[in-house]
Amino acid sequence: MNERTIHFTIKNIILYFLGVFILALGATISVSSHLGAGPWDTVSKNLSYLLGTELGYASGAISTILMLIVITYTKNWRLFGMVLPIIFVSGAILMWDYTIFNHFTPETWVLRGIFYTIGVLLIPLGLSLIITSNFPAFVFDELMIMFMNIFKTDNVIWIRVGIELLGITLGTFIGFQAGVRFGAVGPGSIVMAAMIGPLIGFYLKALKRYQDE
């Protein structure tokens, strides 16, 4: 894949920060559904149980570790710029958690289903907006790009599904270490792992068509 060029335009800045807030909202609302959080949100949530900390802080810790792995492999020191999206997304998760979801938890299966569906749609949308902005992508997207380069493929869907399944596996392991068993991992996590890749592919194509018009 070619090296991406960063263009600091108003449109890209708007796409980037809109993506950050949508991604954080999707992550928080999917956790609140209690039907199974997003694959890497299960890692963050179960780590928050293990460490006794907030979801936003745990998300920042996991993202930082993955950032260091990507930078170590790629030797692309400019990817330290991912510190900014890590801070922004973690802060946005804390904001959504404290202002809304700390005071409102869906009690009925209908509300939980609505929350879960919204989360499934918002997480890949937020990620796609961040990628489209051409700013340093969020760490999971850079991880995806790294694997696409390793396997010399442009198949976003299968690479992304593999990354999401890795997240569920790690989230389950941390949950048992924390004594909450599966914790945030649920049937919905498996569904989301299968859906995020295709939805990112769909959103990226739709955004590209919009930009080409």
The reply to whether the predicted model has a pTM over 0.85 is: no
> Mean pLDDT across the stretch 26-53?
92
> Mean pLDDT across the stretch 5-18?
82
pLDDT above 60 for 92: yes
Do 166 and 115 form a contact (C-beta atoms < 8 A)?
Answer: no
Whole-angstrom distance, CA of residue 56 vs CA of residue 32: 13
pLDDT digits (tens, 9 = 90+) for 114-159: 999 999 999 999 989 988 887 866 788 788 888 988 888 888 778 8
Alpha-carbon torsion 137, 138, 142, 145, what sign?
negative
Residue 212 confidence class, pLDDT cut points 50, 70, 90: low
CA Rg, the chain, in Å? 16
Domain boundaries, the chain: 10-212
Residue 9 confidence class, pLDDT cut points 50, 70, 90: confident
Do 120 and 195 form a contact (C-beta atoms < 8 A)?
Answer: yes
End-to-end CA distance of the chain: 24
